[in-house]
Amino acid sequence: LDGAYDEANVFALILQGKIPSTKLYEDEHTYAFLDIQPQSKGHSLVISKWSRARNILEVEDEALAQVMATVKKVATATRKALNPDGIHVAQFNGAPAGQTVYHLHFHIVPRWAGGPTGF
Ligand code: 5GP
């Protein structure tokens, strides 16, 4: 859970436009895009554009509020677009918890009855 923010992590490179991504939503402070290895159709990620928090333990309250407002917007749009039966909002801290990218992010994963629960 300790460590320095890596300026060259994959989400930092996405924010800089150095790695392409499929944008779902963007505002002044946040960015939402499709996960490259989706757990289900419409699996997306939401990140802060300015916070250098690696995880929930480090994030500024302001950045967290901005990100969560976008999580709600994207979850609402995902429901409208795909009509899932459920939606996971998930966030991992540290490798033993499954974290692989060390720029704080929230997963939004549509779920359908009879499909995998995931995580
Ligand atoms: P974590 O396990 O750290 O919570 O999730 C990292 C997520 O980022 C994974 O679901 C993974 O598929 C996604 N991911 C990793 N590299 C890329 C990338 O280059 N582009 C996109 N769109 N997603 C990525």
Hey, what domains does the chain have and what are their CATH numbers? 10-111 (3.30.428.10)
Return all residues near 100 (Cβ < 8 A) that are at least 6 apart: none
Residue ranges around ligand 1 (CB below 6 Å): 10, 19, 21, 33-37, 92, 98-101
**Can you name the residues that pair with 90 across neighbouring β-strands?**
107
ipTM of the shown complex: 0.99
Among 55, 47, 48, 49, which Cα is nearest to 5's?
55
Contact 78, 87 (CB under 8 A): yes
* pLDDT higher than 90, residue 91: yes
Helices and strands per DSSP (H, E), number in the chain: 2, 5
- Give residue 15 CA to ligand 1 midpoint distance, Å: 13
Q: Calculate mean pLDDT across residues 85-101.
A: 98
* Residues belonging to the active site: 105
pLDDT of residue 28: 98
- Give residue 105 CA to ligand 1 midpoint distance, Å: 9
Contact 47, 30 (CB under 8 A): yes
* Residue 104, both tokens: 């704080």
Q: What would the pLDDT profile of 5-62 be if each residue is shown by its tens digit?
A: 999 999 999 999 999 999 999 999 999 999 999 999 999 999 999 999 999 999 999 9
pLDDT of residue 119: 79
